[in-house]
Chain A
Amino acid sequence: MTETDFDQFVSLRTEGLLRLAYLLCGDAHTAEDLVQEALLRCHRRWEKVARIASPEAYARRVVINQHLSWRRRLSSTELVIQPDHLPQRQSATDVQETFADRDLTWRAIQQLPARQRTVLVLRYYEDLPDADIADLLGSPVGTVRSLAARAIARLRTQPELADDTTPTSPPEGRA
């Protein structure tokens, strides 16, 4: 593997990692920092990372670990949700209501504890099975399921989201 391979890796994977980081932290600048640190770490040991089955998985793991550690460090001072970055709630048409509903859901997700939010992002956005999430987080599968259940339960307590009372279960394919 060469520097060129790393350049290709950055070219192909940066956008995906940025999207993941953005969902985890909810802030564009912090997402860039997370991804930058992840890529720097990959770069430093690229000869090794390039030999593993999925360099992207390694980078993703670093992003997640960094996010969780940063969250712990900044939890007492940082306001994660940044209203300026969120579209204003709209109404009147069905489409607009859909967007507004997403805004409410997004706000609620952003207010979840970091590990709960991470589990939701990995399960619903990255589409990972619980076993893979457990591996990424270094936690038992039962803990992942517990975190997901608590996250969803907490979302349901939000008044704006409480209209949907359908009981939840892991999406198909998770186990």
Chain B
Amino acid sequence: MNQFDERIRSTLDRRAQDAPPAAPIISRVLTREPRRRNRRGWLAAAAVAAATAAIVAVGVTQLGGDDSAGSGIASSSNDSGIASSPIESFTQGRVTYAEESTIHYGDQTIDVGPHKVMALVPTDAGFVFVDADLAVNFTDGRGLEQIGHTGGFTGDLVLAADDTGPYVGWIDGGNAVVYDTANRAEVLREPVPAGAEAARDMAAIDGDLAYVEGSDGVDVWDLTTQTKTTITRTNPSDQLGDVANGYLLWEDPNGSTSSVVSRNPKAEQPVFNKVIGEEEDQLSPDATYVASPIWLFDRATQQDITPRDAHPLPQATLQWLDNDRYVADTINIHTSSPDPDPHDLLVCTASAGTCTVVAESLGYITYPDGIANEGAWEN
């Protein structure tokens, strides 16, 4: 090393020693930052929730739909599920999230108290959520109806829904259930695939197909014909992360690889294969994009198109509003909000790489991804 190199090195060493100590905000924020649990890691939380369900009972307001689901709908006289103003349509691609017992849909809200929203998905007919009693509820802003119940195993706290359409799916004990929110009726109740309980999961709904994951493969149910086919994994450690527009997104936690295959038998497979190093990846509705919580890729070109110049930077992709726009969240540490972990919600445009803040300084919220919040049972 010559003198000039040494000069650079000693300068940097000296400056590094002068670096200020860590500000307390780092540890403070981290201890309160809500974690989004991987959908396969729910055994402990589910067990706690199941115990809670045994001792808590809440009333619900029954909608006008029939009780063909056989879910034992109870009634009460409260105003749970009533929107702040009539909601004409649920297909307008509005930002959706829940705070405690309030579901936000754009600038409209639905109060579902006393229920606490643990997991939430939008459908074309309204919202479906799991509450603290593991009850599955539906609301369209005119009332609230219990449409089912989840069991107590891993994956049972995951709701699955397509980006558009009326269907929502979940696991109820030993059965996979799909419910049609437009017609208010169950359209599928079938035993989950054989295998370890920990691997069972209602992985995805794509159009009229429901994907139910077991340890050995994935059962694909055609909801219109009630027929089943089974997909065998080519890589035993793969987990089905998402399905959209006929494309299956597989995640291999061992190799940190995400790959996308087309259900079109003529397609050259895989159509996307990338070491992303994260889980909870998802496809955009038409499968043009592959989004991880941080990164965004063009599926066809495999190019990283993460909006790095956006301000603030998106930190977790939550919900696709249409084929190009998605909702992401970010921690806003500069806000004056008294909340120790304030979130901002952004709407980002994938093709333009831009993001706009649409909701500021939110506290603990439930994302519209169908995955139950771990911290909800800690409160």
Contact = CB atoms under 8 A, between A and B. Distances in A.
B9 A125 contact: yes
Contacts of A19: 16-17, 19
B79 interface: no
Interface stretch (B20-28, B59-67, B99-107, B180-188): B20-28
Contacts of A164: 3-4, 7
B22 A35 contact: yes
Interface residues of A, number: 54
Interface in B284-334: 293-294, 308-311, 313, 315-316, 331, 333
Contacts of B16: 19-20, 22-23, 125
| A interface: dominant SS | helix
| From B19, B21, B35, B256, residue with most partner A Cβ within 10 Å | B19
Contacts of B333: 33, 36
A23 B22 contact: no
Contacts of A161: 7
Given A19-B19, A166-B4, A109 B12 contact: yes
A43 B35 contact: yes
Contacts of A54: none
A73 B49 CA distance: 44
Contacts of B19: 18-19, 22-23, 28, 31
A125 B253 contact: no
Interface residues of B, number: 47
B279 A44 contact: no
Nearest to B8: A124
Contacts of B227: none
B14 interface: yes
| From B5, B310, B333, residue with most partner A Cβ within 10 Å | B5
| B interface: dominant SS | loop
Nearest to B308: A69
B50 interface: no
Contacts, number: 136
A102 B26 contact: no
A124 B9 contact: yes
Given A18-B20, A32-B26, A23 B277 contact: no
B318 to A, nearest CB: 13
Contact of B26 (A36, A65, A171): A36
B11 A152 contact: no
Contact of B278 (A22, A37, A48): A48
A105 B26 contact: no
Contacts of A6: 30
Contacts of A102: 7, 10-11, 14-15
A84 to B, nearest CB: 13
Contacts of A167: 2
A156 interface: yes
A113 to B, nearest CB: 16
Q: Which 6 A-B pairs have the closest CB atoms?
A: A69-B308, A22-B19, A19-B16, A125-B12, A105-B11, A28-B20
Interface of B: 1-5, 7-17, 19-23, 25-27, 29-30, 33, 35-36, 38, 41, 253, 256, 277-279, 293-294, 308-311, 313, 315-316, 331, 333
6 contacts: A10-B27, A22-B19, A37-B315, A45-B293, A73-B311, A164-B3
Interface of A: 6, 10, 14-15, 18-20, 22-23, 28, 31-33, 35-37, 39-41, 43-48, 51-52, 58, 65-66, 68-69, 72-73, 101-102, 105-106, 109, 120-121, 124-125, 152, 155-156, 161, 164, 166-169, 171-172
